[in-house]
Structure 1
Amino acid sequence: MTSAARFPVLIDAPQGADAVLEGLDPEQREVATALHGPVCVLAGAGTGKTRAITHRIAYGIRAGVMQPGSVLALTFTNRAAGEMRGRLRQLGAAGVQARTFHSAALRQLQFFWPRAVGGELPRLLERKVQLVAEAAARSRIRLDRSELRDVTGEIEWAKVTQTVPEEYPKAIADSGREAPRDPAETAGIYGAYEQLKRDRGAIDFEDVLLLTVGVLQDRPDIADRVREQYQHFVVDEYQDVSPLQQRLLELWLGGRESVCVVGDASQTIYSFTGATPEHLLDFPARHPDATVVRLVRDYRSTPQVVHLANGLLSQAVGRGAEQRLELVSQRDPGPEPGFVEYPDEPTEAEGVARGIRELLESGVSAGEIAVLYRINAQSEVYEQALADQGVPYQLQGAERFFERAEVREAGVALRGAARAGDNDPLLQETVGLAAQVRAVLGTKGWTTEPPAGSGAVRDRWESLAALVRLAEDFGRARPEAKLGDLVAELDERANAQHAPTIEGVTLASLHAAKGLEWDAVFLVGLSEGMMPITHAKTAEQVEEERRLLYVGVTRARAHLTLSWSLSRTPGGRAGRRPSRFLSGLVPGAGSGPAARGGARSGGNGDRAGGRRRKRGPLRCRVCGRGLTDAGEMKLMRCEGCPSDLDEALYERLRDWRLERARQLGQPAYCVFTDKTLMAIAEAVPEDASQLALIAGVGRRKLDRFGDEVLALCAGEEPVAHERESAGGTAAESGATDTDT
């Protein structure tokens, strides 16, 4: 995305109502002009739904049908709400409230609580996990971290489906869901958790919705005040509403029909949180006079990507499938999607990393590439493979950008410099917004070159570098902007959790990828048992897995690669099958399940699969147990088995790595990762053949660093390759060669 797209130059908003309609396609225009009565917009992926509904609001305001303060636009993430507010400002509709359900409800609850209940609103829990852990302890149940997360999720599901603790076991049985633990135990923890909250005068985010519903139901005078304020409602991502959110919407409406809902049943992927597409699917039946508009012109993806997405949904069954949208790409043709079969997961990760390296060399930026997988536990092997290729990456769903300590500190420094203006000595010698930001952040750890290594120092630098890039984009889009303008922009983004892009390949789960898009997407691990996931038992659960894959496919603008492996570990039994969802979609595989031979396409995948030496299953060198975890495979031992690490050698290897990374101008992990160095320091190889057996030491790194590492293992001083020590670049020294 260009800087101009992120920061449109502010101009006078169009004065006439019809001017707002310019540039809309016929269906988007139909949405924008449907100002009266209930409206249902069925919007496929990439069809410009946000554009359509924001123009509808702006058109309604300019036509005199709506007042800005009377419109409440609802969505599901702070980021989406922030984007909507930004677009509305540019269309001259700055007074419209665009919020999440929770944000809108909390604001009303805070305002009306003294009148409805008296006193101050109870303290809001930012995170409920700690209290759930305490509730479990009171119930004499020990939970590890993953179990604690599961129980917390079950409590959230129960609350948004308006299920009280004593009814939870029956609700689980009626829903057909597979509970992560005994429902009676969970019900006990749930009850203890609710009691703890009451004892401590606290509420959680689900309580915000429940209490708002209670106030509006019990106090008609307050409900009338809210309805007097908000007379027009827009609900984005309507397929994701829970029963509790639907109930709150109905109370806000109070029987009126001035509501516009927007959604796509084919993108319902959050049923585990209580979301259901039934409200969207039943909307025309509940509102027989509703205007229904279908947006099917896809402006995001190429015809090749759209064709695959349509083919994937053509096999769907169930209610949602009856109303599926057949997308029509509006873009020029692009490359065909690739389908690659690998013998095992490490080989798959290596092949994907090489494919990403090729895209980078062809001009695709790292920030426009994503690797998407079904569960977060799959990320490690791809982190390792990208590190081995020297490719920077970021994990989607980590700590929120604006909550990082270094970002908060940078914000304070920028705000202080903006207040001081010309009196700030840092700004007296600098000209231009970006230069001023670089000067201020230079006092907080930012440098023109990144530090070596991949730990906290590097993470801090990446955060500050993201702020520098944001300032550069902001300055190009608004040449007259001052430092105070940037600070205001940062505050707005912090409120919306709209973080700037950190340059690196994105690694994310399919669920976390919803709402995002990239030029190139690698969908990995597409084998039975992972896609659909093993615990998807019912037909409905399997169909949600299909929709999850559909969401992944539609994240890609142009380049799309789908891959799977036949075994988890090198040399393991090739017992896996490609996902049933690929049936009939893989070129040359016929109409049945994707055939192994016909499924292979893309040179890298074939080379990786064909040339790799077949090895037996990896076993712990201490206890002999078969190894499946990527970290354990690298160490060649179980995490719990005794380590014979040569600590002095490990420290020498770390010091050597730091210096080599500095010479090459690369992060330290691009030389060797910590796990690889640890494995070397435990094995202490005596020759190249022994060093080559260590996971993470491929042919390229063996040729490049092998002599130096072996010298260190022998207690000698390493000598770098003459060409590299003489100042050769990373590319000249073979940084793009492939490991095998």
Structure 2
Amino acid sequence: MLAMATPPLTAEQARVVHHDPARHATVLAVAGAGKTTTLVHRVAYLLAQGTPASRVRAVMFNRAARASFEEKLSALGVPTGQGGVRVQTFHALGLDIVRWAERAGLLAGQRELLEVEEEQRLGRQAIQQVLRAQGLTKKSTAEHGLELDALLDAIHTWKSMLTPPSRALYPDNYLFVPGFSAFEALRLRAGKLTFEDLIAEAVALIEQRAEARDALVDRLDHLIIDEFQDVNHANQRLAWLLAGRRARVMVVGDDDQCIYEWRGARSAWLRGEFARAFDAWPHDRYVLSRTFRFGPAIAQAASRVVARNLARVDKGLVADDLRQPAHLSVSDAGALEQAGQLQALLDGGTAVADVIVLVRSWAQAYPLQAALLARELPFYCEDGQRLFVDTWPVKVQRGYLLLAARLGDALDDATTDALELVVNTPRRYVRADAFRAALARGKAYGTRVVDLLDQQQALYPHVASLRATLGHAVRPLAHEAWGALAQLDFLSCFQQFLPEDVAHEFALRQSAFADLLRVRQVPLSDVEAFCGALDTRRGQPDAACLRITSVFKAKGLEWAHVFLPRVVEGLFPTLHPPSAGAEDRAHPERSRGRTDVMEAERRLFYVALTRARQSVRVFTDCEARETPSRFVVEAALPRIHAAVEAVQQALDTGRVTAATRQAIEANAADPALHDSLLAIVATAKPRLQRKLKKILGATPGG
């Protein structure tokens, strides 16, 4: 007998739990709506109604969500695993089908999954094959845009669209399709599978083999799919095939949190396409509008931003606890001040696990990384993201500094590497192979750096500018590395051969590096030793370090305090629409339906705001020619903070001060904020409630 405790469900949640078992359902759930709790009670309800546990399947977005869901099911006494309710990710579901097919003889052998490092190795091999076939050199890789990460992203996208190389199209770069073909040939020769192949092969089996259809289709009574706004075409196709005409399907998600369109996700599936495609049963739609994560201030700010989007379903976003406080702030404080606020928060007793720094692009993090290093505050970047000092633009700076410091020294490995790095940055029209040979000869004879440059001027007149630059850089402040950097115009250099936005982003890294050298007072002679000794974690485990990650990695997670650095136009939001990317010649519709770039960026900002439970600190520290993000204006964080805090203080003290009255009156004309304040006021005692309502007015501005 299933032991079901009576859950403290809201009316909205209860409607989802008791949804008619003979109908499909779409559940639109706002951030922090308690959807996991709702879904586990839905599963328990289905079993209590007599559905066998083995005929219920739940599909989660990732392994962490799967483990959490299983744990909560077990707490309700719901059997899981073999013979019970199966909880899987899409990849695990695909792997089960592939392994079943291998045992049944429908697929040959038992192929292993590609590890990340092996996939990257095959990708590099594919690139080299394509370059050779096209008569291009390895040095041409970046120039021609055939870089490893970009190629692998395209391959993942093609596989998510169930597109083979024969149908692949990539309008922006003619090398990508041959790269895909080469990668697939290498993968098949190695007998390996990518994670995307698990889904693609499962779909192909069911579509093409009667034995697979007989064994796999129409075997479930209920299929529940979480985070449905993030699934791609291949995921959707597999779910549709497995459901058949028997399974009743419940999909759950938030179209406002659809932030993975670049890998095939489309919010339209959650907003209506699911109901049209899954037509074996009638369909109902539910909304979970109450959030248990944060109070009314964060809810109001997030709502204001995302409400400007057109391609969405209006769900409302209502704080369950209207008296839950929050700190919302916008500041133009620089990176050192931001690091100081982080330090103060941690020194005040906040656990480092309760604080997060979120960025839309890593360019936002560079100045703060430098400031954290300067303050010796341990941190780490998600996914092993390289520290800015180890990226190419800063390595160019380091190369110039090394050469300036050692202009009179004999050539060695370090100075020859530095010369090779900087000689054509900016372009000086020096032949790489000939210069490399000259460096080797010079090192063998003990030639000084300055003498080699003097020799090369006869062959390459532009080398004179490098010689002069190095001499000029070291003269004004011979012992200050940051002073030497101030003499070098790297931005103009990068603008000669890079798009303006890329050149600007490179310059941001270099500016952060110069700031770090200045704050730590690093002498010119010690730059390389200083960089080599940098340890962002300062010997601490990740659990003891501040975490910096991207908004893309943060969805589904929450922290007490969220820091958003450098929220400026061009970085957050980006102002560049995505490229055409990977397409399917036979099915062009599979790559269409992406949201307008600004709506997509607005969703990202919404996700960033709604990761917070207690505070959001937005920083608009701008470089020259930058302006604060439009989203900061849309969110109206300081105004919302002042108004909500004023009403909450009145409820806490039972008094209406002049400051409270002023804060309320200043925002009474704002319709959305007026209604939010009115909802909080409704929780007050009658006398205070009447007084506050009189200040607010019955209608905005009334």
| TM-score, reference length from structure 1 | 0.58
State how far apart, in whole Å, the 1-side matches of 2:639 and 2:359 are: 23
Counterpart position of 1:39? 25
Question: Do the aligned residues in 1 keep the contact of 2:220 with 2:246 (CA within 8 Å)?
Answer: no
For 1:116 and 1:309, the matched residues in 2 are separated by 53
Determine whether 1:29 maps to 2:11. Answer: no
User: Residue 606 of structure 1 corresponds to which residue in structure 2?
Assistant: none
- Between the aligned partners of 1:372 and 1:457, the Cα distance in structure 2 is 18
43-52 or 191-200, which moves further after superposition?
Answer: 191-200
| Matched residue, 2:120 | 129
| Residues 21 and 29, structure 1, Cα contact 8 Å, conserved in 2 | no
CA contact (8 A) 2:98 2:202 kept: yes
Per-residue CA deviation, residues 446-481 of structure 1 (Å, 9 max, x unaligned), is: xxxxxxx9759965x626xxxxxxxxxxxxxxxxxx
**Equivalent pair of 1:209/1:245 in contact (CA under 8 Å):** yes
SS in 2 for 1:73: strand
Partner of 2:198: 208
C-alpha distance in structure 2 between counterparts of 1:457 and 1:509, whole Å: 18
State the distance in 1 between where 2:609 and 2:28 align: 19
Distance 1:20 1:255 in 2: 33
Q: Which amino acid aligns with 2:79?
A: A
What is residue 391 of structure 1 aligned with on the other side?
Answer: 377
Displacement of 1:198: 2.2
**Alignment length (residue pairs):** 458
How far 1:585 moved relative to its partner?
3.2
More moved, 388-397 vs 98-107: 388-397
Secondary structure of the 2:175 match is helix
Q: Does 1:301 align with 2:291?
A: no
Q: Which residue of 1 aligns with 2:309?
A: 316
Superposition RMSD on alpha carbons, in Å? Answer: 2.6
> Structure 2 CA distance, aligned partners of 1:456 and 1:550?
29
Q: After TM superposition, give the deviation of residue 55 of structure 1 in Å.
A: 1.1
- Matched with 1:732 is none
Deviations 1:667-722 (A, max 9, x none): xxxxxxxxxxxxxxxxxxxxxxxxxxxxxxxxxxxxxxxxxxxxxxxxxxxxxxxx
For the 8 Å contact 1:374–1:525, the answer to whether it is kept is no
Which residue number corresponds to residue 212 of structure 2? 222
Structure 1 residue 390, shift from structure 2 partner: 4.3
Partners in 2 of 1:454 and 1:303 — Cα distance? 42
Deviation (angstroms), 1:209: 1.0
Deviation at 1:82, TM superposition (A): 1.1
- 1:341 paired to 2:332: yes
Question: CA offsets, 1:204-230, max 9 Å, x none?
Answer: 221111111111112233223223643
Partner residue of 1:75? 60
Q: 2:241 & 2:276 partners in 1: Cα distance?
A: 19
User: In the alignment, does 2:553 pair up with 1:523?
Assistant: no
Q: Give the drift of 1:83.
A: 1.0
Partners of 1:188 and 1:554 lie apart in 2 by 42
Amino acid of the residue matched to residue 368 of structure 1? Answer: D
**1:421 matched residue in structure 2:** none
Distance (Å, rounded) in 1 between the aligned partners of 2:236 and 2:163: 15
Larger Rg: 2
The equivalent residue for 2:147 is 147
Matches within 5 A, 1:348-359: 349-359=335-345
Deviation at 1:237, TM superposition (A): 0.3
**Distance in structure 2 (CA, Å) of the matches to 1:294 and 1:316:** 18
In 1, the alpha carbon distance for the partners of 2:6 and 2:302 equals 29
Distance (Å, rounded) in 2 between the aligned partners of 1:100 and 1:168: 27
Which among 260, 264, 274 is matched to residue 274 of structure 1?
A: 264
Amino acid at match of 1:577: T
Q: Which of these residues, 549, 552, 570, is aligned with residue 511 of structure 1?
A: 552
Does the CA contact (< 8 Å) of 2:294 and 2:324 recur in 1? no
State the partner residue of 1:558.
614
1:105 aligns with 2:105: no
Change (3 A) 1:121 1:391: same
Contact 1:369–1:519 under 8 Å retained in 2: yes
Q: Which position in structure 2 is the counterpart of 1:158? A: 158
* Whole-angstrom CA distance in 2 between matches of 1:267 and 1:285: 21
Q: 2:224 matched to which residue of 1?
A: 234
| Counterpart check, 1:543 vs 2:599 | yes
Matched, 1:120 2:109: yes
CA distance in 2, matches of 1:457, 1:338: 28
Question: Over residues 509-559 of structure 1, what are the superposed CA-to-partner deviations in whole Å (9 max), with x where a residue is unaligned?
Answer: 111111111111011221111111132369612211110110000001011
> 2:164 & 2:208 partners in 1: Cα distance?
19
Task: State which of 320, 324, 333 in structure 2 corresponds to 1:330.
Answer: 320
Contact 1:85/1:94 (8 A) holds in 2: no
Following the alignment from structure 2 to structure 1, what is the Cα–Cα distance between the partners of residues 78 and 217? 20
Distance 2:536 2:545 in 1: 17
Equivalent in 356, 360, 382 of residue 370 of structure 1: 356
Deviations 1:456-508 (A, max 9, x none): 9965x626xxxxxxxxxxxxxxxxxxxxxxxxxxxxxxxxxxxxxx1332211
Question: Distance in 1 between the 2:347 and 2:146 partners?
Answer: 40
Deviation at 1:185, TM superposition (A): 0.5
1:241-290 CA-to-partner distances (Å, cap 9, x unmatched) read 10111111111111334111001100000011111122111233445831
Relative distance call for 1:589 and 1:167 in structure 2 (3 A) is farther
Partner of 1:406: none
CA deviation string 1:67-125 (max 9, x = no partner): 22222211221111111111111111132211110111101211222324354233321
SS at match of 1:577: coil
Question: Which secondary structure does the structure 2 equivalent of 1:23 belong to?
Answer: coil
Match for 2:176 among 176, 182, 186?
Answer: 186
SS at match of 1:139: helix
Q: Matches of 2:558 and 2:78 in 1, distance apart?
A: 27
* Mapped pair 1:582 → 2:610: no
Partner of 1:462: 541
In 1, are the aligned partners of 2:358 and 2:549 still within 8 Å (CA)? yes
Gap change, CA 1:199 and 1:507, over 3 Å in 2: same
**What secondary structure sits across from 2:596 in the alignment?**
helix
Query: Structure 1 pair 456/525, CA: closer, same or farther in 2 (3 Å)?
Result: closer
1:93 aligned onto 2:149: no
1:43/1:539 CA distance change after superposition, 3 Å: closer
Per the alignment, residue 129 of structure 2 pairs with 138
Q: Counterpart in 2 of 1:265? A: 255
Contact 1:216–1:223 (CA<8 Å) still a contact in 2? yes
**In the alignment, which of 196, 204, 207 is matched to residue 186 of structure 2?**
196
Deviation of 1:154 after TM superposition, in Å, equals 0.8
AA aligned to 1:549 is F
Aligned equivalents of 1:109, 1:296: Cα separation in 2: 39
How far has the Cα of 1:382 moved from its partner? 2.3
- CA distance in 2: counterparts of 1:86 and 1:587, whole angstroms: 37
Residue 104 of structure 2 aligns to a residue whose secondary structure is: helix
State whether structure 2 residue 265 is matched by structure 1 residue 291.
no
CA distance in 2, matches of 1:285, 1:558: 40
Q: 1:398 to 1:232 in 2, by over 3 A?
A: farther
**1: CA distance between counterparts of 2:634 and 2:538?**
45
**Cα distance in 2 between the residues matched to 1:25 and 1:325:** 16
Return closer, same or farther for 1:90/1:398 CA change in 2, 3 Å cut-off. farther
Q: Any idea what SS the aligned residue of 2:224 has?
A: strand
Change (3 A) 1:219 1:541: same
- Residues 329 and 637 of structure 2 are in contact (CA less than 8 Å); yes or no, is this contact kept in structure 1? no
State the alpha-carbon separation in 1 of the partners of residues 125 and 634 from structure 2.
51
Whether the 8 Å contact between 2:360 and 2:571 is mirrored in structure 1 is: yes
Q: List per-residue Cα deviations over 1:175-223 (Å, max 9, x = no partner).
A: xxxx5xx1x2001101111122222322222111111111111223322
Matched residue SS, 1:559: strand
- Residue of structure 1 in register with 2:425 after alignment: none
Q: How much does 1:340 deviate? A: 1.0
- Aligned counterparts of 1:139 and 1:361: Cα–Cα separation in 2: 54
Match of 1:379 in 2: 365
